Amino acid sequence: MKIGYDAKRAVNNNTGLGNYSRLVIDTIASSGDDSLLLYAPQLRPNKRLMPLLERENVTLCLPDSHFARHFRSLWRSYGVTSQLRRDEIGLFHGLSNELPLNIASSGIPSVVTIHDVIFRHFPRCYRPIDRTIYDYKFGRAARNATRVIAISECTRRDIIDFYGISPKKIDVVYQGCDPQFAHPVDHSRADEVKRKYAIDRPYIIGVGTVEERKNQLLTIKALRGLPDDIIAVIVGRRTRYAAEIDRFIAANALHDRVRFVENADFADFPALYAGALFSSYPSRYEGFGIPVIESLSVGTPVIIASGSCLEEAAGPGAPVVAPDDVDAYIAFARRIIDDHDYRTRLVGAGQTHISRFSLQNFAGGLRASYDMALQCHGL
């Protein structure tokens, strides 16, 4: 079968939706004899995409007319459907919350992955025009799709509550993480990466865009209750929220205890996690929280915040705090640092829990959703 994918994010994004898109494509390309056609408005240099394009069963498809190449957004929303029919696509998967607006009338079975509806929970973090566009596109895609994939039970509930989609139409398919996190990290590799990023003290790691919702300030505040030799390493792109963190750092003389790392090499992430005392992911809301399972995969425990899907990712028994509870955070951090047996139990429980996020389970969940979409069309 020919499977089409909306590959805009796979081409353009190096994190987040881009990682998910490339992982889906790689997983399906590796697990069957289908031909995968990746539809993208344009090709941009992306070293993490190139291995996918070297596969014999993966083809990149760009707009096929002069008009479409000049009006790429219109092509992605409408014109691509004609191209899908000409290419005899048997099923189309929108990987990042969207589908062509006319997909329902095309006769092509479709699946859309909805990652989260954070703009509904934290509207102040989005411009009004962006909220309006997201709400329209996400709702339209969920209604028009033959099947909807939610990346967590939390997202599934949001799709039902906000868009009125039948629970019977939604498949929860937990994603796996990149295969590089499945390999043990030896001490020499961890030390090499520490030197590369000038990390010379015991550290807590937090991975993710530095933004209000991700709540990195809680990690920084907790440093005041931890031994002076421990630092926080925050890996991710800085936004305006970083200025608030900078002010707190200045007011509390924490300059030498916080490292910001932007544009870290993705290949270094396993070693960055593995070298840490623990990971910190106190986000106020997430659709899933891939850094949680990345960290657990390499054997580093995680402190998470309550209130969204993170307990699904971290598993039972993981240290969970309210997003503003500094004292509880410090208590868990001290226990992880000081109590070897407790840390060992967390690592073991994490390793057991992440088995549910294996790439085999991921492939099976995707295939099951595809099969149900085809059955709905009598195929």
Asked if residues 165 and 226 have their Cβ atoms less than 8 Å apart, the reply is: no
Contacts of 280 (CB under 8 A, 6+ apart): 204, 205, 206, 216, 218, 219, 232, 302, 303
Record the tokens describing residue 17, joined without a space.
Answer: 């939706």
**Contact predicate 220/258, CB 8 Å:** yes
| CATH code of the region 2-176+358-376 | 3.40.50.2000
Measured distance CA(153)–CA(355) in Å, rounded: 17
HEC letters along 280-342: EECCCCCCCCHHHHHHHHCCCCEEEECCCCHHHHHCCCCCEECCCCHHHHHHHHHHHHHCHHH
Range(s) within the chain of domains with CATH label 3.40.50.2000:
2-176+358-376, 179-356
pTM for this prediction: 0.91
CA 188, 179, 337: angle at the middle one, nearest 5?
50
- Residue 71 has what pLDDT? 85
Q: For the chain, what percentages of helix, strand and coil (3-state, to nearest 5) are there?
A: 50, 15, 35
Q: What is the mean pLDDT of the chain?
A: 95
* pLDDT band for position 68 (cuts 50, 70, 90): confident
CA atoms 355, 359, 365, 371: torsion sign: negative
Residue-wise pLDDT for 222-255, tens only, equals 999 999 999 999 999 999 999 999 999 999 999 9
CA distance 279 to 115: 22
C-alpha 175/C-alpha 223 separation (Å) is 32
Highest mean pLDDT among 43-52, 58-67, 122-131, 367-376: 367-376
Q: For residue range 196-217, what is the model confidence (pLDDT) as tens digits?
A: 999 999 999 999 999 999 999 9
Contact 122, 286 (CB under 8 A): no
- CATH 3.40.50.12160 is the classification of domain 179-356: no
